[in-house]
Structure 1
Amino acid sequence: MLKTLYITYDGLLDPLGQTQILPYLEGLAVQHGHRFVILSFEKAERWADVARRQTIIERLQRHNVVWLPLRYHQRPTLPATLYDLMLGLWTAIIAVQRYQIQALHIRSTVPLTLGLLLKRWFKLPLLFDLRGFWADERADLGMPRTGLLYRLLKKLEQTGLNQAEQIVSLTKQSLRYLAEHSHNPQIAEKTTVIPCAANLQRWQRDEQARTRIRHELGWQTKQIVVYSGSLGGGYRSADLAECFATWLQSEPNLRWLVLSNQDPQPLIKALQHLNVPAESYTIRSVASNDVAQWLSSADVAISLITPSYAKIASSPTKFGEYLACGLPIFSNAGIGDSEELFAQGVAIKIADFSVAAYQIAWQRYQALRQQPDLAQRCRAFAEREFDLASAIERYAACYRELER
């Protein structure tokens, strides 16, 4: 069993840290006996939440995990990141020696610099958890692809892919891309696909909650579309609003349930601009432990994300959560392995962001929803592709390769 230094530029106090970092490491510790030292970069506002911090500390202590939290600095962007990396490298060097580290697990591209240096200096095997094409995600947000920083980040990414003993990618699409475009054939051979998983014991359809919430909303006999997650930016709130407005014109009894902890005003303004009646939608801020119950009240889910080259390596967490609750998904193409969802009949493709495309997708859904086993097939797909237990076993297989 390995004593592993896990380095992440995301914080354990972030929602992502609690859903897409800790559950995997806890499973590897409990089920496979691996031991971890976690080096993370925590945001000041989350660190100030003493109750949440104490909960994480107690959670880690139960599994004998050592936590080395450092302060995350955001601005000015490049100097702040370089400062974080220098402090992180110093902390990591001490950790490797003090805790007799045997392997490195590096999450995403930014801390990869630390991983490659530690690998060289201490002769440690490295698992590069790719998570996505990070440099291209930044380019989607405005970083010039012709600039020096982009080229350096892509060089860093390629170096990590070449030198890592094991690689984890979120999607089959990104693995195909690596296999086709990499000059190193071993990259595909040492890559395991592990999409963003969900604890399916927690994420499942709750019929009692479905009845209760629909009664609470006064929507007992309505068709309900649900959206869960972030608003704005690449999540295309204005298009979500237009899509719902389009469907509402042909389905007056349709209702939209939005679950988000972000500012709802831009979405509300978009709906008002489209003359969508206020009684036809509701936007709720729901505790994370209650989201599955609210999803259970719906009939179908929706996700619209701006497609790009980087998004072929993206695995939206909401896909697994929706499907685990028995919900088929409206989604645009070009997002991770969405084509597989369309082919398996658990998702409906929205061809583009136009009224005509929304209408066609709704018509296709009307045929799909007549299938009596639809909810069961969605759940079965989630169990096959997005189950946390299966994801832990795939990580365990990667760790066995590191031990060789």
Structure 2
Amino acid sequence: MRKHVVYLTYDGLTDPLGQSQVLPYILGVEAMGIHRFTIVSFEKPENFEKEKGVIQDLIRERQIRWIPNTYHRNPPIISTLFDVIRLWKKVRELVTKDSAEIVHCRSYVTALVGLQTKKKFGSQFIFDMRGFWADERVEGGIWNLKNPAYRLVYNYFKRKERLFLREADHVVTLTFKARDIINSWAIKPGDLPVTVIPCCVDMDHFDPEKVDPDHLKELREDLRIGPDEFVLTYVGSLGTWYMVEEMVMFFSKMLNSQPLAKFLLLTKDDPEGVLRIARRLKIPLDSIMIRPVSRSQMPAHIALSSFSIFFIKPVFSKQASSPTKMGEIMAMGVPIIANKGIGDSDNYISREMGVMVDVEGPAEINVSSQRLLAFSANSNLIRNRCKAVFSLDVGVDAYFSIYNFHSVK
């Protein structure tokens, strides 16, 4: 009889994040033949209608049951409270009928229910905290602490954060920096049972050897990129955490030494903000291309890169950040330009892997942009480093070890 894991996620499986950072781990662990899963998720209606068939196909004939619920956005705070109440009713009913050895909670909202499940049913409680969620909401401008309601919610979750950490049978976080911060809080005697699992990448999907050279040539022609032209790429959304102005400024400084360079942004976000900055910095608009790209198309587009860039706001909560894009870019053997002090990036992006940048002002950005001239990329070295740290197999093995240990308690 397989051990039963109830997996709770407030992100949808039909969200891009769910398809890259939730389901692949569950599929990998389920394939080992020891555990079966019930996934309770909250789905955005627009994504659910488009992608539900994809998810159903992936879990068909697997010992994975999926219980999707509708995610509610409005009104703020009240809608989340409503979803939490629904989740508790669903989990209570589920575990009453089919007991669970483990309840795995992805982030803070679902942990409210996971802790109750532990207390009522005795399930092992895994707090997969990811990062410092409440601080992320404040530092990202989502919760304005001048608003008394948001201040109340923030303080509530900061109290709950310590409770979750103290009561969890196991904690998962994305970075070693976050683990060290958590242990410095001395929540209970000795170090907490914390495993660091960064955002991993499917090395089979992001594989430069699988990109058809003819397709790459067609992409270059479609985008009007010459065979030897320097291409800087950016991958993913542009909102909240990303320092868009500083990234565009970096490109503008780079044009001084690479006047034919192109900046290719692979994002579904509105391009107007980027173009507005480019106009202000007097960057030729024909050197900037913005394309919405699906996950299936992403490897080929990343393969166009000479370098790929991301600058993230250097705030407290980002010490727990492990950008999904970092593994995807490195898996394609592409060197990275990133700013210092974000998660464990300083350790992963060594001198052979890319360029670490100070983003204090235009002068520092200008100096860093000139360092690209002396950089010699070793794609195989970058991909091998990625495989050792960010491979999906590494993440699956880590989760399997956690489940296996707590299944026998």
Could you say which TM-score interval applies, normalised by the shorter chain? over 0.9
Q: Is the 8 A contact 1:161 1:187 kept in 2?
A: no
| Amino acid corresponding to residue 364 of structure 1 in structure 2 | R
- Contact 2:337–2:357, Cα closer than 8 Å, also in 1: yes
Distance apart, 1:207 and its partner CA: 6.7
Q: CA deviation at 1:179?
A: 2.0
Residue in 2 aligned with 1:31?
32
Q: Identify the residue that residue 72 of structure 2 maps to in structure 1.
A: 73
Structure 1 residue aligned with 2:308: 301
Q: Which residue of 1 aligns with 2:157?
A: 153
Percentage identity across aligned positions?
Answer: 30
Structure 1 distance, partners of 2:218, 2:34, is: 42
- What amino acid is aligned across from residue 327 of structure 2 in structure 1? G
1:84 and 1:248 map into 2 onto residues whose CA distance is: 49
Query: Secondary structure of 1:250's partner?
Result: coil
What residue is the counterpart of 2:383 in the other structure?
379
In structure 1, distance between residues paired with 2:171 and 2:305: 37
Which residue pairs with 1:167 in the alignment? 171
Alignment equivalent of 1:345, drawn from 328, 352, 364: 352
Match of 2:201 in 1: 198
Match of 1:6 in 2: 7
Instruction: Return the TM-score normalized by structure 1.
Output: 0.94
CA-CA distance at 1:203 after TM superposition: 0.7
Q: Does 1:319 find its partner at 2:322?
A: no
Q: Which has the higher helix share?
A: 1
Answer yes or no: is the 8 Å Cα contact 2:41–2:67 preserved in 1.
Answer: yes
- Tell me whether 375-384 or 216-225 shows the greater mean CA deviation: 216-225
Structure 2 residue identity aligned to 1:273: R
d(CA) in 2 for partners of 1:34 and 1:148? 39
- 1:34 shift after superposition: 1.3
- The residue type equivalent to 1:89 in the other structure is W
Contact 2:229/2:262 (CA < 8 Å) preserved in 1?
yes
Aligned residues: 398
Cα pair 1:197 1:388 within 8 Å, conserved: yes
Cα 1:398–1:186 change in 2 (3 A) is farther
Between the aligned partners of 1:172 and 1:28, the Cα distance in structure 2 is: 23
How big is each residue's C-alpha offset from its partner over 1:69-95, in whole Å with a ceiling of 9 and x where there is no partner? 111111121111111111110000011
Counterpart in the other structure of 1:43: 44
User: Kindly tell me: are residues 250 and 355 of structure 1, through their superposed partners in 2, closer, same or farther at Cα, counting changes over 3 Å?
Assistant: farther
Classify 1:382/1:342 alpha carbon distance in 2 versus 1 (closer, same or farther; 3 Å): closer
Corresponding residue SS for 1:77? coil
| Aligned pairs for 1:229-308 within 5 A | 229-308=236-315
Match of 1:391 among 383, 391, 395: 395
TM-score normalised to structure 2 length: 0.93
1:48 is paired with a residue of what secondary structure?
A: helix
> Does the CA contact (< 8 Å) of 1:40 and 1:70 recur in 2?
yes
- Residue ranges of structure 2 left out of the alignment (5+ in a row): none
User: How much does 1:186 deviate?
Assistant: 4.4
Q: Which moved more, 1:98-107 or 1:115-124?
A: 98-107
Distance 1:242 1:224, change over 3 A: same
What displacement does 1:316 show?
0.3
Gapped runs of 5+ residues in structure 1? none
Would you say the 8 A contact 2:230–2:306 is kept in 1?
A: yes
Corresponding position of 2:219: 213
Aligned Cα root-mean-square deviation (Å): 1.8
Give CA deviations for 1:366-392 in whole Å, capped at 9, x if unaligned.
2222x5xx2122111110111001110
Structure 2 contact 336–349 (Cα < 8 Å) conserved: no
Give the secondary-structure state (helix, strand or coil) at the position aligned to 2:380.
Answer: helix
